[in-house]
Structure 1
Amino acid sequence: MGTDTPMHIDRGYLADNSSDEDENEFSSTSASTMDNKHHSSTEATPLLLPAPPRLASYISLKLPHLPVKPLSYKPLLSLLIVIVILSSSSDEIMESAQLRIFESIICYRHYESTDPTKLLLGRSAVGPGAIGGVLEQDCKIDGVQGELAMLVGYTRFFNGLPSLLLAVPFGWAADRYGRRPFLVLGMVSFVLKIGWVQVVSWFWQAFDIKMIWLGTVPMLLSGGETVVTGLLFVVLSDIVPEADRTSVFLITGACSLLASLLMPLLGALLMEENPWIPALLGLLLAILPLFGLIFVPETLHRRHLYSPQISPPPSPSAPQPPASSTHPPAITPPLHHRLAAQLRNSTSFLTHDARVPLLILPFFGHTLITTASQLLLQYMSKRYAITFSTATILKTTFNAVKVVLLFLILPTASKLGTHYLHLSTQRKDLYLARGSQALLAVGYLLVGISPNIPTVVASMILASLGMGLYLMIRSFLTSLVPSHHIARVYSIITLLETLGGMFGGALTAALFKAGLRLGGGWIGLPWLFVGGVGCVCTGLLFAVRLRLEEDEGGDAGSEVDVM
């Protein structure tokens, strides 16, 4: 669907709604016009005559009533979902493979300096990423795992810097100049970052492994992963009517999780042959979305084309009322006053509705939980003495439950809430968000104390039942703010997610290293921490209330927001 797709107008509308008298007026007016043109044209007569009064009146009265059929958002939604699936597949298929390559490089260098007898091949014989240089089970010692955790944690910290610096400016620019340019830059920056990390890993004898941190530099083009994720949700908000937004967000999240269900399994199988196979395949999958973006139009100012309830934005060429000439010219205020006024205007939605910041803050906790989830492979590999490929297969159980949750459990619960319990859309989303956050908190607390594989799998299943939480919060939050502030709200969410990712990655890595040092059950310290954060976020969600005017069509219950 291109950007110039015309709106469909019913051509029979005029005929069905015009009287014979109107037709006679139209005919006589046209005839008069032609007669005047034939007999009274001179050299000074303009080539384009103005419309006669009756014809102009006819057009002005009839054309505003032409019915306009909104465009279907489904073709563009399908394309965006394909892009999301490809991007998610890239991350998922190479996550454990890249982690194994990092571990191999750190492990080889560790034994090279401490115990060369562990080395199976010399430097001249070992291949890219030092794969095959040391047995994997010999790399599960605390010294190697602690360094690996810190490497990955600080990688997340540095990758978060572009989002921290650029999330708000890019959100403002996306509201002003459009979503598409920044979306394209984001996908390009991903490819450059992944490519650089693999160059450093391939030529590990020439580069220090910490050089992967320079992969942050390409992210300055786009603001980082969280900025691009936020932009994708902004584009979805642009094209999807409010009534369908929650279900579309859930479907998009579920399709992304399909990649997390299938790709880790494929990656684990390919890792048995060589970790570089899924790593390089992930780079290829990161490139493919760039071709899909060619067909994604700019969606800024196009929301009215997809929803009949939304009026088109005013044309910049439309006549404006004349400015009053009775007032003297305004005095331009100082620059710092103008900047302060602009800042107040840009962030007014934060103070206009006290519920907005309460709903935004849990995204910080969400990112802490996400960073802990990324540490899950290393945690299971170390605590239960299993390989990364086996840990990847176990983690797939976690992802499988999330897919069932988003495809079946949450849509069913949503339907029950609206059709049988007669809850309003907003109240239903709020109740589901509260329950999901509680399950998430309890699940991760149990992950932290699980003594064996069966209990940790059961705990991951419980935690996964809450993973649809932030899709629902996004939908609920979007309904509370004006459309021209949506990208800015998502930018602030991105900022908090970035802070959570930056400091959460380093913090959970430090907690993991501290747990290794303390020994025993303390190895689960990162999950005890994020479980506690989840409990705090649950309290924030229970502090949010609906207003009576927002609960029309549903059972208002006993919750009334007085803010």
Structure 2
Amino acid sequence: MNSSDLSSRSVSPSSSIASTVSTRQQEATSLLGREAPNPESPQKLHHGRSALFIWVTVLCIILTLTATNGLIQAPQQRILESVFCKYYFQEHDPSKIGPDGEVAEIWCKIPEVHRPLASLRGWFDGLGSLPGIFLPIPFGILADRVGRQKILLFSLCGLFLEFLTLGAVLFFHNVISVRFILVSPVFELFCGGASVAVPTAFTMVADSVSPEERAVAYFRISAGAMIGPLIAYPVAALLMTFSPYLSILVALILAFFSVLLAIPLPETLNLEEARKQRAIAAESRASLPNDTLSQKIRVGWAHLVQSTRDLLQHQAVIWLLPIFLVSACTTLVMDFLLQYASEKFQWSFKSASILPEVHLLVNALLLMFLLPTLSHFLTNSRHMSSARKDLFLTRICIILSVVGLFLIGAAPTMTLLILAIVFYSLGGAFIPSTRALLVGLVRPEQNARLFAVCGTLTYLGSFISAPLIARTYGWGLDKGGIWLGSLFWLTGIFVTIAAVPLFILRFQGDDEDPLAVTAASLVHNESDQSDTVTLYSEEAEEVRERERYGYVRARSSAESIELAVLTGSKD
């Protein structure tokens, strides 16, 4: 699990649950027709707890998880480096092994040691992303049906077990091969882990945020989540002066604490309304014969497919989702930053830990002060709609990120490397700003599924790119010199390709209107009426066809297709 990944999921407080949920429901418009107002009081469903309590608790959970990862990262790198270093010198020069059975860190900064270390990291990151490919969408659908809090708690338990397994392998590496760290992601296959916990926590607060507050809310929660690593990296460096294992022990305690934090969280999903809608579908099936196994399989598959299709009704969603596919590359290369600087400038891991600190500090200042101020200026002084503002900010951030990646790979000195990291970090908000843009394109009750799809794409990108980045880094080690930074250049190319649609999308009213897209396509806000969307004729025809066939007006159109499958109807 990566701290960047965690810190990029965000949400923020709102004035009250009742007002924000009411606003979102009044604005929400389904492709199947406008949703009826929710009769249930959100305050009642949240047992009188304010949105502030939900936000603060979720922030503490994410902050704790990012701190856990920050405490583990440098000690893990150092322990793995020492193991591979010992393996190498046992075979080639046993005199380098000290009386304590260890090799001095200064002798370990060689390609023969860092190449297998990079390979193991590549496999670890790749296998660790497999659960994120298959689990977020099913768990997202489940969260929409049984509630967010239960899914969050369950996934946090799996994440704690994953950290515990990783810590056990590192503690007992003299007995257990360090390659057994590849086993730790197995707990995510059963419980979901980070790929489910983060989007679910994000969704719980997103349920309470109004569209007007959304972008600023995402920026601020992302900044808050970075406080964990900002504290964790110097604490880890301090603890490593005594023992790297001490830092890992503190990290495990924090991981367990994150589980405890999730217990008092109230449910944010309107379960009563969801149960009513499922009851309507069940009542419509009452006259049907008992479901056979094949029918259940067909219904389950149709539910999953239709739930995903619902998110892809708007072209802008399809155009923007690839950004999450390549976002994993930016997370992975920043995880290689410690090893890259340690090899290129012969720094110890303890000394190189200042680099993630610089990245996180600049990112936190950006998200906490600069972007909220700029967002406020664009909205109030320039009178930009929410969608236009989010698109503008995303474009700026993408440009800064790409330029920063190329500069990091080419930096000849540590001073220039730090400046390049600052430049890259100034563009670090492109994921939360893209997410803010996407949230406005779907119905509020689809938020969990949207974040699940985004999470799935992120982990799919991680699975694909992890071995590629590791191999690229190994190739750079062999070539030496400036080619050591080739993994950052490769990532910059990937991000550039994925960002092309951001510079093609236009709003209706622009002279060059190749694609009329805006968040107002599904969420009609009076302040955004200038950005209304042309619904393509085939999509409008599909809406009319669905209404003519008289499908049940369920909260999710998956309920409708479930009836269609059971009765043999054709859409």
Q: TM-score, normalised by structure 2?
A: 0.78
Whole-Å separation in 1 of the counterparts to 2:230 and 2:154? 28
| Larger displacement relative to structure 2 (344-353 or 456-465) | 344-353
| Counterpart mapping for 1:16-415 below 5 A | 72-121=50-99, 125-126=100-101, 133-301=102-270, 313=273, 316=276, 335=295, 338=299, 341-415=302-376
Does residue 476 of the first structure (1) align with residue 421 of the second (2)? no
Q: Which residue of 2 aligns with 1:543?
A: 504
Relative to 1, partners in 2 of residues 1:439 and 1:143: Cα closer, same or farther, differing over 3 Å? Answer: same
- The aligned amino acid for 1:83 is I
Q: What are the Cα deviations for residues 122-163 of structure 1, in whole angstroms up to 9, with x where unaligned?
A: xxx54xxxxxx1110101110110111111111111111222
Relative to 1, partners in 2 of residues 1:556 and 1:456: Cα closer, same or farther, differing over 3 Å? Answer: farther
Does residue 430 of the first structure (1) align with residue 405 of the second (2)? no
Unaligned stretches of 5+ residues in structure 2 = 1-16, 19-38, 508-516, 537-571
Contact 2:49/2:266, CA 8 A, preserved across alignment: no
Relative to 1, partners in 2 of residues 1:318 and 1:151: Cα closer, same or farther, differing over 3 Å? Answer: closer
- Displacement of 1:71: 6.1
Contact 2:216/2:371, CA 8 A, preserved across alignment: no
Relative to 1, partners in 2 of residues 1:514 and 1:320: Cα closer, same or farther, differing over 3 Å? Answer: closer
506, 509, 523: which one aligns with 2:470: 509
Contact 2:145/2:274, CA 8 A, preserved across alignment: no
Whole-Å separation in 2 of the counterparts to 1:169 and 1:286? 24
- Displacement of 1:349: 2.6
- Displacement of 1:368: 0.8
Contact 1:185/1:221, CA 8 A, preserved across alignment: no
Q: What are the Cα deviations for residues 81-122 of structure 1, in whole angstroms up to 9, with x where unaligned?
A: 11111111111122111111111111112211221011003x
- Displacement of 1:221: 2.5
Q: What are the Cα deviations for residues 260-317 of structure 1, in whole angstroms up to 9, with x where unaligned?
A: 2221112112222221221211111111111111111222216xxxxxxxxx837739
Whole-Å separation in 2 of the counterparts to 1:332 and 1:219? 31
- The aligned amino acid for 2:444 is S
Whole-Å separation in 1 of the counterparts to 2:279 and 2:145? 22
Contact 2:42/2:270, CA 8 A, preserved across alignment: no
Give the secondary structure class of the aligned counterpart of 1:447. Answer: helix
Contact 2:157/2:193, CA 8 A, preserved across alignment: no
Contact 1:442/1:463, CA 8 A, preserved across alignment: yes
Whole-Å separation in 1 of the counterparts to 2:188 and 2:135? 10
Relative to 1, partners in 2 of residues 1:555 and 1:373: Cα closer, same or farther, differing over 3 Å? Answer: farther
Whole-Å separation in 1 of the counterparts to 2:529 and 2:403? 29
- The aligned amino acid for 1:196 is T
Relative to 1, partners in 2 of residues 1:116 and 1:240: Cα closer, same or farther, differing over 3 Å? Answer: same
Q: Which residue of 1 aligns with 2:450?
A: 489
- The aligned amino acid for 1:468 is A
Give the secondary structure class of the aligned counterpart of 1:282. Answer: helix
Aligned residues: CA RMSD: 3.1
Relative to 1, partners in 2 of residues 1:342 and 1:114: Cα closer, same or farther, differing over 3 Å? Answer: same
Relative to 1, partners in 2 of residues 1:434 and 1:120: Cα closer, same or farther, differing over 3 Å? Answer: same
Whole-Å separation in 2 of the counterparts to 1:100 and 1:176? 44
Q: Which residue of 2 aligns with 1:52?
A: none
Give the secondary structure class of the aligned counterpart of 1:296. Answer: coil
Does residue 440 of the first structure (1) align with residue 401 of the second (2)? yes
Q: TM-score, normalised by structure 1?
A: 0.79
- How many residue pairs match? The answer is 481
Relative to 1, partners in 2 of residues 1:329 and 1:395: Cα closer, same or farther, differing over 3 Å? Answer: closer
- Displacement of 1:454: 1.3
Whole-Å separation in 1 of the counterparts to 2:167 and 2:42? 55
The alignment-based identity, stated in percent, is 28
Whole-Å separation in 2 of the counterparts to 1:317 and 1:344? 19
520, 527, 530: which one aligns with 2:488: 527
Whole-Å separation in 2 of the counterparts to 1:340 and 1:221? 20
Q: Which residue of 2 aligns with 1:56?
A: none
- Displacement of 1:239: 2.5
Contact 2:156/2:193, CA 8 A, preserved across alignment: no
Contact 2:51/2:205, CA 8 A, preserved across alignment: no
Relative to 1, partners in 2 of residues 1:331 and 1:183: Cα closer, same or farther, differing over 3 Å? Answer: closer
Give the secondary structure class of the aligned counterpart of 1:495. Answer: helix
Unaligned stretches of 5+ residues in structure 1 = 1-6, 9-63, 127-132, 303-311
Contact 2:311/2:442, CA 8 A, preserved across alignment: no
Contact 1:422/1:554, CA 8 A, preserved across alignment: no
Contact 1:356/1:480, CA 8 A, preserved across alignment: yes
Whole-Å separation in 2 of the counterparts to 1:367 and 1:407? 23
Whole-Å separation in 2 of the counterparts to 1:168 and 1:406? 28
Q: Which residue of 2 aligns with 1:13?
A: none
Whole-Å separation in 1 of the counterparts to 2:159 and 2:274? 37
- Displacement of 1:175: 1.4
Q: Which residue of 1 aligns with 2:416?
A: 455
Whole-Å separation in 2 of the counterparts to 1:556 and 1:386? 55
